Copies of this chain bind each other. A is one copy, B any other.
Amino acid sequence: MNILISNDDGIDATGIKVLTKFLKKIGNVTVVAPRTEQSAVGHAITMKVPLRVTEYYENGNFFGYAVDGTPADCVKMGIKNIMKVKPDIVVSGINHGSNTAINIVYSGTVSAAREAAIMDVPSLAISIADHHPKNFEFAGKVARELTKMVVKHGLPTGTLLNVNIPDLPEEQIKGILPTLQGKTKWDDVYEERIDPYGDKYYWLTGKLIEADGKLEMDHFAVKNNYVAVTPVHFDLTDYQAYEDMQSWHVENILQHKTKV
């Protein structure tokens, strides 16, 4: 099995090293990851400046390729220019911090997996729900076992699994559940501050508006010590709204059509 690994915390993060250790037990691993942290980059890609790729060593041993771009850049570059064949699966993570509910939209970890899905390669995004995680070993095991399951069962074209894991040792985990993207989101506001030169600057701050009360929702499941596994796709059409819009008669905006 050929596995491409990426992340958004950067190639020197603990999470990607643990993930690599676990996945090496079940396949041939290629690591292509951002040189520096790329959290909250969303699905950014680098188009207006060229990319650079360098080999990254750990304790004198080759570990992988560092790209001075985004997670999505790494997956494109990894599949097209480095591996040159489609891997059997792409695994992104292990992220330091959760990517449930609305955070899926902002997540660099998920965007690496989504880029793989766009390229018709099955993929997983793996996150631990703490910015300073302690329980990497359990997350590594979950990643390894779900990798085997995805390769065995397959996923629909364009779909990835977004996996969020409580930062707990295995014996305190209550279960592993298929879940849906939750509705919990941030109420953000920029805190205004003054710099040493007297000029204003703004820091993003926010509080979570909890909107999920069932274990089927990813955010609520993780909060209640379950591992949440959400299938995510990039068909963004709101089909109901498409039906409803038929009655708007948008074509009437065109003068030469309505005059006829």
Instruction: Flag whether A62 is at the interface (Cβ < 8 A).
Output: no
Q: How large is the interface on A (under 10, 10 to 19, 20 to 34, 35 or more residues)?
A: 35 or more
Instruction: Flag whether A232 is at the interface (Cβ < 8 A).
Output: yes
A100: min CB distance to chain B, Å: 11
Given A42-B45, A175-B257, A251-B177, verify A50-B146 contact (CB < 8 Å): no
Instruction: Flag whether A92 is at the interface (Cβ < 8 A).
Output: no
CA distance A233 to B241 in the complex (A): 9
A69: min CB distance to chain B, Å: 9
Residue contact B255 to A170, C-beta cutoff 8 Å: yes
Q: Which one, B81, B159, B230, B234, contacts A202 given CB within 8 A? A: B81
User: Chain B residues near A255 (CB, 8 Å)?
Assistant: 170
Residue contact A181 to B237, C-beta cutoff 8 Å: yes
Given A40-B44, A51-B190, A254-B176, verify A238-B159 contact (CB < 8 Å): yes
Q: Which one, B46, B181, B185, B236, contacts A181 given CB within 8 A? A: B236
A151: min CB distance to chain B, Å: 12
CA distance A248 to B145 in the complex (A): 11
Given A43-B105, A47-B39, verify A248-B149 contact (CB < 8 Å): yes
A196: min CB distance to chain B, Å: 13
Instruction: Flag whether A250 is at the interface (Cβ < 8 A).
Output: yes
Instruction: Flag whether A231 is at the interface (Cβ < 8 A).
Output: yes
Identity of the chain B residue whose Cβ is nearest the Cβ of A217 in the assembled complex: B237
Residue contact B40 to A141, C-beta cutoff 8 Å: no
Q: Which one, B50, B114, B204, B234, contacts A203 given CB within 8 A? A: B50
In A201-234, the 8 Å CB interface with B consists of: 201-204, 227, 229-234
User: Chain B residues near A232 (CB, 8 Å)?
Assistant: 236-238
User: Chain B residues near A106 (CB, 8 Å)?
Assistant: 43-45, 72
User: Chain B residues near A173 (CB, 8 Å)?
Assistant: 254
CA distance A106 to B142 in the complex (A): 30
In A34-85, the 8 Å CB interface with B consists of: 37, 39-48, 50-53, 72-73, 76-77, 80-81
Known: A156-B241, A178-B250. 7 other contacts (CB 8 A): A40-B45, A44-B106, A73-B204, A77-B190, A141-B253, A180-B237, A229-B245
7 A-B contact pairs sorted by A residue (CB < 8 Å): A39-B48, A40-B47, A47-B204, A50-B193, A77-B202, A170-B254, A181-B235
